[in-house]
Structures are given as structure tokens and as C-alpha cells.
Amino acid sequence: MSRRQRLDALLFTSSSNQARSPFLRLSAELRNIIYDYYFEDTTWLIPGKDDFELSIYTPSLFLVCRQMHFDTALIPYTQKVIGSANDVTPLDHWIASKSVAQMQAVTCLELQCELVLSPSGLAQWIIPVKRDGRTLCLFANLKTVYAHFRLSDRGRRDGTPYLPYSTKELDRLKGCWERCVPGVEIIMTCEE
């Protein structure tokens, strides 16, 4: 079978599917509303190197039909990406495995971070993105970054909270990220 014949057969199959499928006969706008509802709570969780990862293989309805795959390919990226790694490597690998279109579709990042404060006032950051914010620049349509910091008291002897110092450190980091990605809402929360 020549290349032209294969292409004609694929086009016939695609148009036949669209004509017979009640869902594909809906307008693109209605299908997008349904897709948004379906993917409403979808998140990407990027595991860290020490996290247990379980691979579950399930057939995807959206891979069955080319039109549905085309319609839905970027929708999961528009929901939320969660980086919970203890270093930048897993997020860097995840970014390297994505296409430009997938990276541009990401609008919300949620980062699980840790701030380790010592009695001497030194801070050690454990953040899944580079501290200077350059990683955030890779997401062209990023709207919101949620950074959840857990304060660690490793090395703290007297049990007094470091909250005033940590607030100053978080404000400094937030300012750095806001300068790097102006217009992106940076929301930082802190818990001891």
C-alpha cells in the first residue's frame, strides 16, 4: 500500500469516527467544557529520588481516538504541576522530557519545600526549583506559584521558633522570584 493510500485510509477512518460518534459530533467548545470538567482535579506529581513510585498501566480513553487525543493532549498541563522533590534534579528531568507546547500549557506550579534554620541563623533551602527563579522562566504562561515551606528545627537547641527569621528569608526569596517572573502570583506559606 502506498503512502498516499495509507493516508487516505486514515482520513476515511477519522471522518467515519467523527460521523458515528455522538461525542465527536458535539462542537469543539462543548467538548472543551467536558474535558475541563473531566480533568478538573488532575495534577502532575513529580516524585523525588527517595519517593516510592508505583507505575499503574491503564488504557486511556483519550489514546483510542486521534481526535480526542488531539483535543486533550495539553489539558492536564493546564491544571496543576506539583514538585515535591528534595532537590532540583527530578523537576529538571521532568522539564527536559516535555515539549515546548506542554511547557507553555503549564499555568500553576505547587512546590513542596523545606527551610532548615540553624541556631547561628544560617538557612538551608530544599526547593525543587533553582533558588534564583530561573526554572520558573521556562514556563511561558505561568500564572501562579504556590510554595509551601516546612520549617525544620534541625540543630535548634532551645525549641524557640525561628518564624521571624524565616519570614524575612521567605520574603527575600519571594522578591527574587517576582523579579525573575514579573506578573506571576507567588504565594508562599510556612508551617513549623
pLDDT band with cut points at 50, 70 and 90 for residue 54: very low
The three-point CA angle 160-161-164 to 5° equals 130
| Whether pLDDT at 186 is above 90 | yes
Contact 84, 113 (CB under 8 A): no
Model confidence, pTM: 0.70
Q: List the domain boundaries for the chain.
A: 1-27, 39-191
CA gyration radius for the chain?
22
pLDDT (tens digit per residue) in 105-117: 888 888 888 877 7
Q: What share of the chain is helix, strand, coil (3-state, %, to 5)?
A: 45, 20, 40
